[in-house]
Structure 1
Amino acid sequence: MASTAGAAPVTTAPASDDSSRRRGLTGYFLLIPGVVWLALFFVIPFYSLVAASLFDPSGSVVNGYEMTFHFQNYPDALRDYWEPLVRSLGYAALATLICLVLGYVLAYAIAFKAGRWKNLMLVLVIAPFFTSFLIRTLSWKLILADDGIVVNTLQAVHILGAEGRLLATPVAVIAGITYNFLPFMVLPLFASIDKIDHRLIEASSDLYANPFVGFWKVTWPLSLPGVVSGTLLTFIPAAGDYINAQLLGSPNQRMVGNVIQNLFTNANDYPAASALSMILMILIIAMVLFYVRRAGTEELL
């Protein structure tokens, strides 16, 4: 009988290495659809926008545009359209503040007071999304109409004069923005508030803190991630909105989105429209980075 005492041990390391290598490559293959999607619908359009913002402004749609790296398009766009740009940021900031106040109260009530009706309340919050954005805004046009119940009531209590109106005013535009983007504020706030341990709130009262102090020392700090998320989700789309200003406002309430749309579709001034779009994007990114850093919420970084 042959001895096997000196036989070398059998090893399966190469097969194991091949299996690990295949598993590692599988992750990269799974990334391909997402990378292709981002390249087609983000990277390429973004490059096109940046390139158009540097076109020679003397060109036209008929004769074509020449890439001359005309950076002067940026200061020219800022000089010509700074008013609607500032107006857009102001409207968006005010609407975001109103959404924060209303949304926080609503999210707090749903999280702590709704009980078994919590899910139903959340469905009611997102119910407006089942209707077109355009239809919702047109509904506000009917609500705030000159002969509508809101204007008639305000005139009856002498808040508005006999010839007073709400349509074609900043009030109507901000009201429309607030209504349309309020769910974007409520949902992150609810997700953050609902995670707060009730025992921490009870502990604050045990330490002789009144409800107001307990809220500012316990509830508010713990809900800050939701506050930051909600304000960002509300402010960013609100700053670029143009439907509310178009349907509920007048030329005096024109926002930067209306200007960009007009430059692209009517004036066919692609360099100015692209430069203004880039300026808005850069401003929003800078404001968001500053806000998140100042808020100090590490969960968002």
Structure 2
Amino acid sequence: MPLAPATKRNLVTSALVAPAAAWLFVFLVLPFIAILVFAFGERAPEGGYQAAFTFAQFANLGSRAAAFRNTMMIAPVGAFLCLIVAYPVAYFLAVKASPKYRLVLVSLVVVPFWTSLLVRTYAWMYILGSRGLPNLLDMVGISDVRMLNTPGAVLLGIVYGYLPLMIMPIYVSLEKLDLRLLEASADLGAKPLSTFFGITLPLSLPGVMTGTALVTILLLGEYLIPQLLGGGKVFFIGNALVDLFLQSRNWPFGSAIAVTLVAVVVLVLLVAMRIAWRFAGTRQVDLV
């Protein structure tokens, strides 16, 4: 008996989705279930995991309050700085740049991704180290300037490393902007600032929220930049997880922190989606 067309479409769709779904289940869902189980266990005497059911690990989260505080303060500030720098760049690429050179300019934004973040961060370690900018400032009479191993150095590394991830979503939103709306606003006597806040910004808000949510979520789990540019003095949750899993071998406590981090990421995503829908109205807003 031949299958109905709708049944065939459903089977084809299921066949296409099945590999990706299986991949996500094996490499995302199952590891998270394991972490969740570990979070309610105890540390074995020799390190690792010992089966138990206790909330002691979650009750001990306060001992890593500094890591949570640094992450919750620096990650949003870093995302905001990325937004401040990225929006003018994206606006220039989408609205002001000549279509003839636009593809080249967009490619230049992506070029840093061709180099490892580790290599780029090590380059900033040299620039901000004693032989870099502080040495140049000392030559002109400005001495005792400390740049490396500070929150400022971490923020600089964050903006440099994550800027392309903020530029591209905003660029995609601005590229769809109907320039006739800007011309009409100018013809009606609106000032450039009024046009920006009344037309450009609301229409580009989906890209802004997408970029902000993407960068913030990635920064919540950042490890490399705080480790290298912060010198262990600017401790993020990612640094705490590495310490607990690889050095202290306290897997249950590390798992509890990881579960808490996932909960924070989900909360940030939900809040970002709510804000985006509230300000964007019925326009499409995709954050994931």
Which of these residues, 233, 236, 248, is aligned with residue 214 of structure 2? Answer: 233
Counterpart of 1:109 in structure 2 is: 92
Deviation at 1:284, TM superposition (A): 2.0
Distance 1:21 1:222, change over 3 A: closer
1:178 is matched with which residue?
Answer: 159
Larger Rg: 1
Q: Secondary structure of the equivalent of 1:253?
A: coil
Confirm or deny that 1:141 pairs with 2:125. yes
In the alignment, the residues of structure 1 paired with residue 111 and residue 194 of structure 2 have an alpha-carbon distance, to the nearest angstrom, of: 34
Structure 2 counterpart of 1:4: none
How far residue 153 of structure 1 moved from its aligned partner, in angstroms, is: 4.5
TM-score by length of 2: 0.91
| CA deviation after TM superposition for structure 1 residue 33, in Å | 1.0
- Do the aligned partners of residues 217 and 245 (structure 1) sit closer, same or farther apart at CA in structure 2, a change above 3 Å counting? same
Whether 2:271 is the aligned partner of 1:285: answer: no
CA distance in 1, matches of 2:173, 2:150: 35
| 1:95 maps onto 2:87 in alignment | no
Q: Which residue of 2 aligns with 1:73?
A: 57
Q: Residue deviations 1:182-224, cap 9 Å, x none?
A: 0000000100011100000111111111111111101000000
**Residue type matched to 2:29 in 1?**
V
Structure 1 residue ranges without an equivalent (≥5): 1-13
The answer to whether structure 1 residue 83 and structure 2 residue 83 are counterparts is: no
2:24 is aligned to 38
Identify if the C-alpha distance between structure 1 residues 220 and 265 changes in structure 2 by more than 3 Å, giving closer, same or farther. same
C-alpha deviation, 1:117, in angstroms: 1.1
CA contact (8 A) 1:60 1:268 kept: no
Show CA shifts across 1:111-153 (max 9, x none): 11211211011110010110111101101111112121x2244
Counting matched residue pairs gives 281
**Cα contact 2:66–2:235 (8 A) shared by 1:** no
How far the C-alpha of 1:23 sits from its partner, in A, is 4.3
Change (3 A) 1:52 1:154: same
Q: Match of 2:191, as an amino acid?
A: N
User: Contact 2:137–2:143 at 8 Å: present in 1 too?
Assistant: no
Which residue matches 1:52?
38
Letter of the 1:35 partner, please give it.
A
Deviation at 1:162, TM superposition (A): 1.3
Which residue matches 2:13? 27
8 Å CA contact 1:85, 1:255 repeated in 2: yes
Residue ranges of structure 2 left out of the alignment (5+ in a row): none
What is the distance in 2 between the residues matched to 1:47 and 1:196? 43
Distance 1:30 1:175, change over 3 A: same
Contact 2:177–2:203 (CA under 8 A) maintained in structure 1: yes
Q: Please list every run of at least 4 consecutive aligned residues from structure 1 whose deviation after the TM superposition is greater than 4 angstroms.
A: 153-158
Tell me the SS of whatever aligns to 1:146: coil
Q: Aligned residue for 1:248?
A: 229
Q: CA RMSD in A?
A: 1.9
Partners in 2 of 1:218 and 1:154 — Cα distance? 44
Q: Percent identity?
A: 34
Looking at structure 1, the residues matched to 120 and 130 of structure 2 have their Cα atoms a distance apart, in angstroms, of 18
> Which residue matches 1:8?
none
Shift of residue 279, structure 1, vs aligned partner: 1.0
Q: Contact 1:188–1:227 at 8 Å: present in 2 too?
A: yes
